[in-house]
Chain A
Amino acid sequence: MAKTTYTLPIGPIHPALKEPTMFKFVMDGEVVKEVDVQPGVNHRGIEFIGMRRNPLQVLHLAERICGICSIVHQYAFTMASEKAAGIPPTERSQYIRTIMAELERIHSHMLWAGVAAHELGFDTLLHWTWKLREEVQDVLEYISGNRVNYAMYYQGGVRRDIPPEKVPRIKKLLTDYRREFRKLADAFLEDPVFQHRTVDVGILTYRDALETSAVGPTTRASGVKKDVRVDQPYGAYADMDLKPCLPEDIGCPNTGDSYAKTAVRLLEVAQSLDIIEYCLDNMPPGPIRWEMNVNKVLMHMKKAGGEAIGRTEAPRGEMIHYVRLDPGDENVSCWKVRASTYNNILAWQKMLVGAQIADVAIVAASIDPCIGCMDRVTVTDGSGKQRVMTKEDFYRLSVKKTRELMRQGVRGRIV
């Protein structure tokens, strides 16, 4: 009997982002039958390095795990080490932390939306989305002085205040975004071709989302109400009554397809604007640090012993850091980082099975993978003999499918 399936290795260049990871697909014609994800191509051993550093040094290391969601790693590590050492963060600093985390969520979701548009061949939309994203980048730089790694968090508080004279500039951002947002959301969600490329593509069922412990917009798009900001709020989130954003909020069923995931992320941008406004209006006065003297903080952490977890809702979902400090030992004795993509690998496998080859790019992108977060050591890859399909090949196929739909003159909305 003739062999009906064939194996298609993809990678180590990632099919959706310019980050390395390895996929092995078992294909039947155009359809994916099985998927094996083999990460690790970008593992840098950050936890290993961190277990040889003191908590203040790890603060900066944690931030460098990821270039997009650097704040949430620092946030989670700060919370875990504070809890382990018994350092209370000041009230004002908790609000500043929340503002920074939400600004980052906006920039991350906008970046994702641009990438999703690009994967489907909508490059004008990519450039428009990223032009809007520049504004939030400017505000992040305005507050922290940096565009990528902000170095804002610190055990017991934050490094820089948001004084009243900086508030109007941030509020201007909120106004500008609210004005532009409706147009942007329509460009994605109302476009017939975008709908044909994403509706019923890459479905993660409610049951699969629960059983794989998937997190973030990936799981919320399937109707699972998991959001750390709502379930176990930290910082200023504890003072707000938030609800997890689900696709049903805009009348779209919680199907868990790529369209629903797009809807959730766009809704969350709007939610983030409200959270930032609340924080700016209700920010309490007071010190921004528990202790100004860095050496005293370090000595306190050296004497303290304990273990704790720090948990944040990253743009991609739940993020958790485990920290263990031994009394008398200056260094962090155990550090475990678990980024959101790590828990979404299994969900990825469920979504890709049954997908067409031209849809692989958008389905892979739909969880907003962050390989830098997931992998943490350097590896050599020995798959040179196999035929390797690169991101560019997938991108070409994906664009071809979109152009085909446009040529056919797809008009009707399907949601």
Chain B
Amino acid sequence: MAETPVAGPQIGGEMGDNIVKISKIMTPEEIVEYFRQHLGDSVVDTRVDIHEQGLSRYRMQSVWIRVKRESFRDAVKLLATIHSPLHISVASGADLGDEIELNYHFHVYWGLGKKEISVTIGARCPKSDPHFPSISDLAPGAIITEREKQEFLGVIMDGIPDGRPLFLAESLPPDVHPWRKDPEEQEKLKKYVRNVHEEGV
């Protein structure tokens, strides 16, 4: 695995402590460029979204970066050079047919007043090989959402320190994954889910 690159000048101590480290403030475009520079071809897709808020037209900024699965941990490490400890909001997961996409929603530059940027780092894994690298060691707050993704989407988080099921009933077999959309998964689920909306009660 590549060495973690170090971002420009660390100004650190921004919060008056030695725990929080912040790099120089970058624009969303610069963040994308920073990722492309350090991860090269591993960056599959990027997008910057701006949404104006309020009468003052405040620009709410979000960056979306999709990388190859093999480089996912490197991308998260790279983000940690921008603002650490990482603030992970949640990971969302979508069934795209042949692949499963996981998007980890992080936020950087919090605590500086109106400067926060949402950074979503995503990657896809094929359903035939649903392995995904766990980042619970890099961002301890990720463990809850990773446990949830395992049970709901049937992905396997490699290296997760605690992989027990979290929310689903013990009576539900471990091979039933409610958020999978393929017909065979839906068939398995039929035993446990009733659609009163269509059946009528």
**Complex contacts, A30 vs chain B, CB 8 Å:** none
A378–B172 Cα gap in the complex (Å)? 11
A333 pairs with B87, CB closer than 8 A: no
Partner of A233, one of B58, B117, B170: B58
A318–B53 Cα gap in the complex (Å)? 18
Q: What 0/1 readout, one digit per residue, does chain A (281-312) give for beta carbons within 8 Å of chain B?
A: 01010000000000000000000000111010
Q: What 0/1 readout, one digit per residue, does chain B (106-131) give for beta carbons within 8 Å of chain A?
A: 01011111111110100000000000
Q: What 0/1 readout, one digit per residue, does chain B (128-148) give for beta carbons within 8 Å of chain A?
A: 000000000001111111000
Interface residues of A in 43-57 (CB under 8 A from B): 43, 45, 47-48, 51-52
| B18 CB to nearest A CB, Å | 10
Partner of B87, one of A226, A238, A376: A226
Partner of B170, one of A320, A375, A379: A379
B11 contacts chain A at the CB level, 8 A cutoff: no
| A312 CB to nearest B CB, Å | 12
* Given A48-B178, A210-B19, A346-B141, A233:B114 Cβ within 8 A: yes
| B56 CB to nearest A CB, Å | 5
| A335 CB to nearest B CB, Å | 8
**Complex contacts, B120 vs chain A, CB 8 Å:** 309
A94 pairs with B53, CB closer than 8 A: yes
A342–B166 Cα gap in the complex (Å)? 11
B26 contacts chain A at the CB level, 8 A cutoff: no
B54 pairs with A233, CB closer than 8 A: yes
B170 pairs with A232, CB closer than 8 A: no
A333–B195 Cα gap in the complex (Å)? 18
A309 pairs with B118, CB closer than 8 A: yes
Partner of A211, one of B53, B95, B140: B140
| B81 CB to nearest A CB, Å | 16
**Complex contacts, B90 vs chain A, CB 8 Å:** 320, 322, 336, 338, 342-343
Partner of B141, one of A40, A211, A235: A211
Q: What 0/1 readout, one digit per residue, does chain A (304-338) give for beta carbons within 8 Å of chain B?
A: 00011101000000101010100000000110101
Partner of A94, one of B54, B95, B171: B54
| A380 CB to nearest B CB, Å | 5
B49 pairs with A225, CB closer than 8 A: no
A130 contacts chain B at the CB level, 8 A cutoff: no
A213 pairs with B86, CB closer than 8 A: yes
A234 contacts chain B at the CB level, 8 A cutoff: yes
A52–B178 Cα gap in the complex (Å)? 12
B89 contacts chain A at the CB level, 8 A cutoff: yes
A210 pairs with B20, CB closer than 8 A: yes
Partner of A40, one of B54, B109, B166, B195: B166
A169 contacts chain B at the CB level, 8 A cutoff: no
Interface residues of A in 204-244 (CB under 8 A from B): 206-207, 210-214, 224-226, 228, 230-239, 241, 243-244
**Complex contacts, B111 vs chain A, CB 8 Å:** 224-226, 231, 244
Q: What 0/1 readout, one digit per residue, does chain A (44-74) give for beta carbons within 8 Å of chain B?
A: 0101100110000000000000000000000
**B-side interface size class:** 35 or more
Interface residues of A in 89-144 (CB under 8 A from B): 91, 94
Q: Interface size on A (CB < 8 Å)?
A: 63
A83 contacts chain B at the CB level, 8 A cutoff: yes
B179 pairs with A48, CB closer than 8 A: yes
**Complex contacts, B140 vs chain A, CB 8 Å:** 211-213, 346
* Given A309-B105, A318-B89, A320-B90, A231:B49 Cβ within 8 A: no
A9–B143 Cα gap in the complex (Å)? 22
| A298 CB to nearest B CB, Å | 17
A207–B20 Cα gap in the complex (Å)? 9
A262–B118 Cα gap in the complex (Å)? 29
A residues sitting closer than 8 Å to B (CB atoms) are: 38-40, 43, 45, 47-48, 51-52, 83, 88, 91, 94, 206-207, 210-214, 224-226, 228, 230-239, 241, 243-244, 282, 284, 307-309, 311, 318, 320, 322, 324, 333-334, 336, 338, 342-343, 345-346, 375-382
B residues sitting closer than 8 Å to A (CB atoms) are: 15, 17, 19-20, 49, 51-56, 58, 60, 62, 64, 85-90, 92-95, 103, 105, 107, 109-118, 120, 139-145, 165-171, 178-179, 193, 195, 197
When A and B form their complex, which 4 residue pairs have the shortest distance between CB atoms, in order from nearest? Answer: A213-B141, A238-B54, A238-B58, A336-B92
